[in-house]
Each structure stands twice: as C-alpha cells, then as structure tokens.
Chain A
Amino acid sequence: MAKRQYSFYPGCSSQEGASSSNYLKSVESMCEELDIQLNTIPDWNCCSASIGYAEGGELPRLALSARNLALSEQANPGQDVVATCAACWLATRETRDRLLEDDELMHETNQALAAAGLKLKADQKVRHMVEVLIEDLGYEEIGRHVKKPLEGIKIAGYVGCQTNRPFGISGESFENPVYLDKLVETLGGESIPTYEKKVQCCGGALAFSEPEKSQAMIKGIIEAAYDNGADMVVTPCPVCQMNVEVYQGQINQTYGTKFKMPVVYYSTLMAVAFGKSAKEAALNGHVIRAKPLEDLAGR
C-alpha cells in the first residue's frame, strides 16, 4: 500500500486529449516516485470553474462541487480531497467552506443532492497538490528523491492567481509567495526570487473572450521572465500554463516580439529531477519545447 493516499479530483482539463493532459501525466510520474496514491473520485463532474456564474446561480454551482464531495465521501472515506487544477481546488474548497459556515445552504444543497440519492457531510479537507507536497512531505523529503538536479537551469516561478488567492498556501504571502522558488532550489535549479510578475493575472477564462486585453497581460509575464534571464517558466495552474504558453505566437505577431519561452508545471520539473523519462514527464505535451529539460531527461 502506498505511503500516502488521497481522494483525487482531476478535473476536465486533465482528461485524455484535453488541454492539460500533460499535467496529469507528469503528476502521475511524480506521485509514483513519492509513493503517493491518488484515488480518483468516481464519476466526478465539472466544478463550473470561475466562469459558470452567468447561467449557474449560487446553489447550482455549489451543488456541482457538492456532488463531487459526496461521491468522494462514499468512495474514499477518511482521505483528503486533492485537486491539481487551481480552479477545481478553489471552487471545491469554497463550496465546502461556505456550506460548513451556513446551515441553510448546507440543508438546501443536501436537498438538491437527494435528487440523485446523495448526501454530503463535507468532512474531508479540500487541498491543492502543492499543499500536499509542501505540508505533508516537505522540501527536505522531496529533495531526497532528486537524482538529476536541474543544474544551470534558470526558472521563473509564476504562481498566478487562483492557487495564491483567496486561500493560498499556508505561510505564504499573497503579494510575494516563494514556494515555487523554494521548490526550484530543492530540485537543484536556479530560482528567480526577483521575478516581479509572479502573481500577475494571465486573464484566466477571459483569454478566450477578451484575447487582446489578456494577451497584453501575458506579454508582461513573459517579458519579465526574459528580463530576469529565465530559461523557462514554472506554474502550478493549468489555465496559467496554457495561456502563457500557447498565445506567444499571436503576441509575437501583434507586438513584434520573438517570444519562445517554455512554460512547464512544477510536476514536470519534479518528474525530470526524479530521473523520469521525457515521456513520463510529458515533455512532448509542450507546444514550446523545454529543451534544457529534454536534454537532462535524455541523459
């Protein structure tokens, strides 16, 4: 039996053939090395992210996350719920907090769940994978698994919004969280504590609906990485990853820049540092290839 077990909420974007399927792949490789077992919540549904509000009112949105939590309690009792996606984590944790604070909302949510024969106690904590890594394992234990230090690779830690606010990682500040920098150092890489765009918004879902406004912000995020001499950017959020990586071609066209900055996940870095292959680290899932990591994984 694995040393640590969690009830896992993967979320829509991590499904096969979806935009962050490479995130899930690298997380699986990372967890294998760290002896973490992820027990997927059976038949989980979308959390409605932070853009479902127009049509979905408060209670329907709470009910979506409540269904996942109720299914989790049934299948994986006694385990913390863990999400890898920032929006999944935020929506699910927000739901749990709000229901535990408000008896009337809890009652109404359970009335809604009863329509499918479900019941919610909300007795499982809801956590982001980064919290598991930092709080349950710690930098020291993670460091013990490093077989190929990320030597000479300079990495900008882009924390973004929703893994940072409103909850954030315990002990970190909203304005200048440093856990990605610490993680990079733990893996033997070179961090950039002065990276000034680490908590700048990338536009989130508005990268789709307001592309010009969002790309102006993304441009700043990449530019600051170049200014700080970064070889690549690392992030804990699938929306940040996609937004900052895939629009660089359009930004180059609009602004005449020559951006080609790789954007990877913390789990990508960890998989490579733990000695996994390029395929296991899902390096082939990046539109802008992270060459220094590919070289290291191939060595």
Chain B
Amino acid sequence: MSEAAAKKYAGNFLQEVEANVEEGEWVKMCMQCGVCSGSCPLGPHWEHPPQEIFMMIRANKREEVLTSSSMWMCTSCYNCIVRCPRGLPITHIMHGLAHYANRLGVAPKDNPTHKFAKLFWKNLEKGGRVNELKLGLALYFMNGLAEGVKTSLKMKDIGLGMVKTKRMNPMEIVGGHSCKDKAGLHAILAKAREIELSKAAKFQG
C-alpha cells in the first residue's frame, strides 16, 4: 500500500478507511455524542479527539487525520469502547488508523509514542519476547545520543531500584530471553504480513 495506490479513493476517505483500516467499517456508525472524547484519560491532549476524527473522516479530511498526532495519544484504556452507546470499537479504530498512517509513511515522525511503538515491535519481533532493558535503552536514545544520555541520567534512580529488586537484569544487554523457535515465529509473521498486504492490494482493484 502506497500513497499512489491510495489515489483510487480520491474524494472518498471514508471508503478508504473502511477498506484499509482495522474495524474501519464502524466509522459511519458514530452519532457524534462525544462520550468517547469526554471519557479519554488523555482527552485534553488530543489534537482532535475520537469524535472529531470520525467526523473528519466523513468530511474527507484525509491528510489532517492521517498526519495527526491524535491517535498516538491512545493509552488503550478501553474506556471509550465500554461507554460508546453505539458500540464502536473505538480503541481498535484508533490503533487501526495509527497503523495505516504508519504503513503509508505519513504518521508524525517526531511523535514519541509513534517512535516507541515501532521500537516495541522491532524488539519483540527479534527474539519473540520483549527485552525490557534493550527496549528501555532504545527509548531513551531514540532522539539521539545527547538527549539519550540526559534521559538516562534522569532515569538512573529508577533503573537502580529495578536492578536492586531484581526486576531488571543488566546482563539482558547480551542476548537475554527469547523464544526457541524463532525461525518458526518469523515464518508465521512473514506469512501473516504477506496475506494482509495482498488483501490490501486487492481492495484497490
């Protein structure tokens, strides 16, 4: 899926979302009551809260939606899902929009949650299990060396506390926990990705 391929939907972003975004077919069900926006723990920090995002999709505001930092504010608390009177799986739609924006390469590059989410997947994919130490360090240094050193110093006490209580192991930096059948896991993920992308291609006719 590329920006060029998405041209087919020119003028109909709702259709594009329905065809390509996880649970996107639910977007048209939103009745604009705003319960989701009012229930979101980070609501005040969203550029456009979920209610607005749904209307913007229907109003064809493609670029504004996909490049927005909004969806990256989702903490996956599921408050919006259980309160939505229309039963929209809002959390999943936000994850779906974020993923689609990332796949198209238009997600906000500097958004820290976007960066962290990518680091997380890379970390788990490598050995099949998350290496918390490497993930933490990758996070601290994601904005370059200078800022990384600063963040590491700021986080020093927390790190020491975790090491002291045996909840962080400095030796994880070499090797660490992983699945035995890494090859099998990678084959499964490759196949899943292949199926998903071939379906996305099919939607474009």
Contacts and interface: CB of A to CB of B under 8 A. Distances in A.
B58 interface: no
Contacts of A250: 154, 158
Interface stretch (B8-16, B30-38, B60-68, B179-187): B179-187
B202 interface: no
B124 to A, nearest CB: 4
A193 interface: no
B118 to A, nearest CB: 5
Interface in B30-55: 41-42, 45
A45 B96 CA distance: 22
A57 interface: yes
B167 A285 contact: yes
A291 interface: no
| Size class of the contact patch on chain A | 35 or more
B180 A60 contact: no
**In terms of DSSP, what is the predominant structure of the interface of chain A?**
loop
Contact of A209 (B96, B112, B157, B180): B112
Contact of B132 (A19, A44, A161, A287): A19
A59 B167 contact: no
A171 interface: no
Interface string B129-161: 110100010010000000000000010011001
Nearest to A45: B128
B201 interface: no
Contacts of B26: none
A284 B165 CA distance: 6
B162 interface: yes
A216 to B, nearest CB: 10
Contacts of B177: 12, 15-16, 18
Interface string A276-299: 000000001111000000000000
Contacts of A18: 132, 167-169, 177
Interface in B163-205: 164-169, 171-172, 177, 179-181, 183-185, 187-193, 195-196
A43 interface: yes
- Most chain B CB within 10 A, of A15, A53, A166, is at A53
Most chain A CB within 10 A, of B95, B103, B171, is at B95
Given A22-B165, A67-B188, A162 B78 contact: yes
Contacts of A114: 191
Interface in A34-59: 43-46, 48-59
Contacts of A161: 75-79
A117 interface: yes
B81 A165 contact: yes
A185 B42 CA distance: 33
B179 A45 contact: yes
B129 A15 contact: yes
Given A19-B168, A200-B41, A209-B139, A165 B95 contact: no
Which of A49, A118, A204, A210 has most B Cβ within 10 Å? A210
A112 B45 CA distance: 38
Interface of A: 12-13, 15-22, 43-46, 48-60, 62-64, 67, 108-109, 111-118, 161-162, 165-166, 174, 200-201, 203-206, 208-210, 213-214, 217, 246-247, 249-250, 284-287
4 tightest A-B contacts by CB? Answer: A17-B169, A116-B184, A50-B76, A54-B117
Interface of B: 22, 41-42, 45, 73, 75-79, 81-83, 91, 95-96, 98-99, 102-103, 107, 112-118, 120-122, 124-125, 128-130, 132, 136, 139, 154, 157-158, 161-162, 164-169, 171-172, 177, 179-181, 183-185, 187-193, 195-196
